[in-house]
Structure 1
């Protein structure tokens, strides 16, 4: 089953990815470097996962969330889904990331 996932890196930044095999991908991030972004910011913590119907859907969701502000990502991770529409309105306003 495909997944979209978010990692919180040691420096507090977020990495959003998608994969067919989450366990294997996390292992690669930890042991083989995975993405350069994560390799430079280890250790990391898996903080959010969504299971999708297709790898295309997982990839599109990854790209959508990559464009979100930090505050909006935190609301998703914290399960505050009711906050997402409000936070989307502030994306283009300065000082709201």
Structure 2
């Protein structure tokens, strides 16, 4: 089952990063005030971007990396100026075997 990394714009201009299997349903949870503490304190406005990943483990790694980015770097990712793949560690062929 694919997982998604998503970025939400909040009413105060900040960005929230999360993961889910259904981004639309998860956004509705955030918008209802029952999501993460961060989005309960700020009104989530819209999903700015989502990226499909192969599984939960990869999504968690991507979320960790993206959450460490500055707002400017996150906006570059959203705009397509930076790829999500450039943030993820590469798996060497010898590690896959």
Q: TM-score range by the shorter chain?
A: 0.7 to 0.9
Contact 1:11 1:41 in 2 (8 A): yes
Query: Could you tell me the TM-score, scaled by structure 1's length?
Result: 0.78
Unpaired segments ≥5 residues, structure 2 = 87-97
Unpaired segments ≥5 residues, structure 1 = 86-97
Of 19-28 and 61-70, more deviation after overlay is shown by 19-28
Distance of 1:46 and 1:35 partners within structure 2: 15
Match of 1:34 in 2: 35
Distance of 2:4 and 2:65 partners within structure 1: 14
Aligned pair count? 83
Structure 1 runs (4+) greater than 3 angstroms displaced: none
Distance of 1:32 and 1:9 partners within structure 2: 12
